[in-house]
Amino acid sequence: MDEVAALRAGALARAAARTPGPPMATEDSRIAGVPVRAYQSGATPITVFFHGGGFVVGDLDTHDAQVRRLAHATGASVVAVDYRRAPEHPWPAAVDDAEAVLTSLAGTGAPLAVAGDSSGGMIAALAALRVPGLVAQLLICPNADPTLSSPSVRSEADNPFLDPGVLRRWIGWWLPDAAVRSSAAVNLLVADVHAQPPALIVTAEHDPLRDEGEAYAARLGDAGVPVRHWREPGLLHDFPTMRDADPGAAAAEDRFLAAARELLS
């Protein structure tokens, strides 16, 4: 699809214009047949990162700087996953890829965490439902309810950074069966979360996904899962991508990274 190719090319161009992340050793390979990029291999724990992009755009290169900052700040190895994207590969391809990588890495015996931003946060949390025994989930502005029915979706309908109408269309590409969007297999506000790993969840005030991310944090807490959550005031969805232009966004990501280090230590 020409439209999708243009969307992905635009995401890559925007990422290329941002400040690179900290220098460190990386290696591109495959785990369980899925393309991955490993950062500072050999350190522990291993954090498996899933990029955002509405289940349609984003890849290893669009999020390279962000993943480098995560690895540098936490001292962990990070494995970024180039999961299959919609519309070519609808549900459950992305989460199947996530599960395959996590299951393979679990065989190493190293402690494992998951991390992700936006749609990648949802993929990380859904993978954690399938693979028990993880030590943490580190989520920034996660999508948690693919029905997009929370109040903030309506109140932020004119959001300049994340258009709910566009996201609804992309989720339709990823989850063509509307009934699945409400099911426990994919909706974190319906799924049984009692066995989920301890969570760090940061939301943003001006984000259509704010309320669903906060509802997921509340559900974890109600289920007895240790959870640390806060809302960053005044910021837009997926604020780490704006750190070059907005000192407030940079400070917010730095707070997230410091808390991630604490949770993983």
Domain residue spans of the chain: 2-264
Residues in contact with 89: Cβ distance below 8 Å, sequence separation at least 6, in sequence order:
none
Residues in contact with 260: Cβ distance below 8 Å, sequence separation at least 6, in sequence order:
70, 73, 74, 115, 136, 138, 200
Residues in contact with 214: Cβ distance below 8 Å, sequence separation at least 6, in sequence order:
201, 203, 229, 231
Active-site residue, selected from the candidate residues 41, 77, 104, 118 = 118
Check if the beta carbon of residue 219 is closer than 8 Å to that of residue 100: no
Both tokens assigned to 132: 């028990």
Rounded-to-integer distance, Cα 242 and Cα 250, Å = 7
Q: 2-264: CATH homologous superfamily?
A: Alpha/Beta hydrolase fold, catalytic domain (3.40.50.1820)
Assess whether 183 carries a catalytic annotation: no
- Which stretch of DSSP H or E encloses residue 264? helix 247-264
pLDDT in tens, the chain (265 residues): 689 999 999 999 999 999 999 999 999 999 999 999 999 999 999 999 999 999 999 999 999 999 999 999 999 999 999 999 999 999 999 999 999 999 999 999 999 999 999 999 999 999 999 999 999 999 999 999 999 999 999 998 888 789 999 999 999 999 999 999 999 999 999 999 999 999 999 999 999 999 999 999 999 999 999 999 999 999 999 999 999 999 999 999 999 999 999 999 9
Rounded-to-integer distance, Cα 265 and Cα 258, Å = 11
Both tokens assigned to 223: 């289920």
Q: How far apart are the first and last CA of the chain?
A: 44
Q: What is the pLDDT of residue 158?
A: 83
Q: What is the pLDDT of residue 112?
A: 98
Q: Please state whether the peptide bond connecting residue 20 to the residue before it is cis, i.e. omega within 30 degrees of 0.
A: no
